Structure 1
Amino acid sequence: MKNLLFFFIFIILFNCNKNIEAKNTVKAELEHEVEDKVEDKVDAKDEIKIDKDFLLGKFDYKTHLDFIKVDSKLSSKVLFLQKETYVAFLKMHTVAKAEEINLIIISGTRNFEEQKRIWNRKWEKYKNLSPVERAEKIMEYSSMPATSRHHWGTDLDLNNLNNSYFDSGEGEKIYDWLVKNANDYGFYQVYNDKISGRTGYNLERWHWSYLPLASKYLKSYNSQISYDDISGFDGAEYADNLKSIQDYVNGISENAKKFEIKK
């Protein structure tokens, strides 16, 4: 009986390993297929020149050679991303879809002027508050122009802009899949909860950042940008007082910070 029991256990373990190997093989094949399809989308150069205007979002990404329009099937509106970010997302999307997870990009690159329109609209919305309170209210979820990671073409918002959406049903499945798999493709949730003492923006389960590029830009931002560079919109004069660089630009998750250290 013991021998028979051991035999059945061996068969079960053998089949489990086979299933895992098969799944990994399919995943590798899907990723390779995406590479073949999009390899022409990435330029041969290794690095993108990081100048201050780029870091501040003061450029036209629609004509920038390192940016590309997202396929309308993968987005909720006309969007652009950096080519490297887009290729990484395509790999992730292909594997996710094979596992019945549908990832839709609802926000991608936003330049300074686009962020300014969002900011000024909310500034008017909260006009009953004091200037500092207005800025703090907006910065629960929205960045001051010249301080947004969305300027860089490395960050994207997925599926829904409400945290509650990811608490149950399809949203919960999507979020659980991302938590388990997104890092494998370079995407990290930079704005997690604040239990660990993270500063800045509130929890954003929808916001995922492609750190192989974004980490370089954050490092360059911290070395080149000062509060003198944050101007040209309502309430800009409060950026220093609110520590928008220290607490918000650098207010990212510990997991993301560990990636930065490794790099």
Structure 2
Amino acid sequence: MMTPEQLIGLDQNHLINVVDNSELLGQKFECHHEVLIPIAKLIRQSELDGVPLRVISSYRSFERQAEIWNYKYNNDVELNLRDGTTVNSFELSPKERVDAILHYSAIPGTSRHHWGTDFDVFDAAAIDQGYEVKLTEEEFEDKGPCSRLDEWLDYNLESFGFFKPYREDKGGVACEPWHISYRPIAEKALKEFPLDFLKETLREKDIGGKDNINSRLESLARKYVYNICTE
């Protein structure tokens, strides 16, 4: 299984780098070595069914997640909220800023993308036609560029061992219909998630709001790490 370092994105030895221009994949990404064949089969079936999916985000390191987090925390930027409104980050207290960022961005070390089991996917046909991907719920709703893909995923994911951990809003991470996860490995990773090790790591890293995060890391993990859709 994965080590604590791998589970929080500090070690990439569990990954395989996919650079394959064959008909099977035709895409470039990194994933857990045991997930390569399942994701390849899923992609191939989507192509055969005329709803080709493209992986637009897969593995993400701790450092990359920290860049995303710190940009939002340390700069006066607009943060998207669940109700569709936005708020300027500098108008918020440290706690409010952490909570606002967590709607759509994980605390470094807590992203499922660290495991190499999770992928953000989109309709390849829309991308090839020049569509600029935004990753919004509207893109996967009726008449959105990924409406057919969304329906195909709901019908086919389970057959290949995948599921949508953020199929619906459960009060933690906002709904992400584009996010799929390989259940056999991801379930083990979640059970072994090293919360104490993460807390020690965050103390040593330059992470915006880390004192506020660490003081309530257990409750934040319950809300944003363990609180997923299991079906």
TM tier, shorter chain? 0.7 to 0.9
1:69 and 1:80 in contact (8 A); partners too? yes
Aligned partner (choices 187, 201, 211) of residue 162 of structure 2: 187
Q: Tell whether 2:113 aligns with 1:150.
A: yes
The match for 2:141 is 167
AA in 1 matched with 2:96: E
Cα deviation for residue 225 of structure 1 reads 4.4
For residue 228 of structure 2, what is the aligned residue in structure 1? Answer: 252
Matches for 1:132-143 after TM superposition, within 5 Å: 132-143=95-106
Distance 1:137 1:122, change over 3 A: same
Output the amino acid matched with 2:138.
S
Cα distance in 1, alignment partners of residues 190 and 180 from structure 2: 15
Q: TM-score, normalised by structure 1?
A: 0.70
Contact 2:60/2:114 (8 A) holds in 1 = yes
Provide the aligned length of Structure 1 versus Structure 2: 199
CA distance in 1, matches of 2:102, 2:14: 31
In structure 2, the partner of 1:227 is 199
Aligned to 1:24: none
Calculate percent identity across the aligned residue pairs.
30
Matched-pair contact (CA < 8 Å) for 1:140–1:200:
yes
In the alignment, which of 155, 170, 178 is matched to residue 153 of structure 2?
A: 178
Deviation string, structure 1 residues 19-55 (Cα, Å, up to 9, x no partner): xxxxxxxxxxxxxxxxxxxxxxxxxxxxx4x221111
User: Which structure has the larger Rg?
Assistant: 1
Residues 117, 244 of structure 1: alpha-carbon distance in 2 compared, 3 angstrom cutoff: same
- Root mean square deviation, CA, Å: 2.0
SS at match of 1:221: coil
User: 1:54 maps to what in 2?
Assistant: 6
Q: Which moved more, 1:158-167 or 1:214-223?
A: 214-223
Provide structure 2 residue ranges, at least 5 long, that are not aligned to the other structure. 78-88, 123-132
- Letter aligned with residue 202 of structure 2: I
Partner Cα distance (1:153, 1:105) in 2 = 12
Shift of 1:251: 1.3
Higher-RCO chain (CA-CA 8 Å, sequence separation at least 6): 2
Distance 1:254 1:235 in 2: 30
Closer, same or farther in 2 for the Cα pair 1:129/1:223, shift >3 Å?
A: closer
Higher normalized helix content (fraction of residues)? 1
Q: Is the 8 A contact 1:70 1:81 kept in 2?
A: no
Structure with the larger strand share = 2
Give CA deviations for 1:195-221 in whole Å, capped at 9, x if unaligned.
xxx231100011111111011111111
2:15–2:30 Cα contact (<8 Å) kept:
no
Change (3 A) 1:188 1:224: farther
Counterpart pick for 2:181 among 180, 184, 209: 209
SS in 1 for 2:34: helix
C-alpha distance 98-150 of structure 1, shift in aligned 2 (>3 A): same
Aligned twin of 1:218: 190
* TM value normalised by structure 2: 0.79
